């Protein structure tokens, strides 16, 4: 004889699987979109560096300075 609570759990678990059927395909699609976006962004950055080195270099310096200050601020905020 199966415990009624166990049987109820199995029924609810089966409903959960039926409700979320097809989500695996959606997750695979999201991963492919993420990877495609990363590849395209990397290509654009390399092209920018090759074609407009001066503006790339200025932006890189600004971004490094901003990130240093943000990291410093976060480090101080965590320690406080």
Per-residue confidence at 46, pLDDT binned at 50, 70, 90? very high
**Spatial contact of 69 and 76, defined as CB atoms under 8 Å apart:** no
Percent with pLDDT over 70 in the chain: 96
Tell me the C-alpha to C-alpha distance, in Å, between residue 48 and each of 56, 67, 75, 79: 7, 21, 32, 38
Per-residue confidence at 43, pLDDT binned at 50, 70, 90? very high
- Determine the average pLDDT of the residues in 27-56: 97
Instruction: Please report the pLDDT score of residue 1 as a whole number.
Output: 61
24 or 37, greater pLDDT: 37
């Amino acid at each position: 004889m199966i415990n009624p609570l166990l049987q109820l759990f199995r029924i609810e678990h089966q409903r959960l699987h039926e409700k979320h059927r097809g989500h695996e395909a959606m997750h695979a699609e999201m991963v492919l979109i993420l990877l495609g976006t990363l590849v395209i962004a990397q290509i654009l950055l390399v092209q920018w560096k090759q074609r407009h080195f001066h503006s790339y270099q200025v932006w890189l310096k600004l971004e490094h300075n901003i990130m240093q200050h943000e990291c410093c601020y976060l480090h101080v905020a965590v320690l406080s």
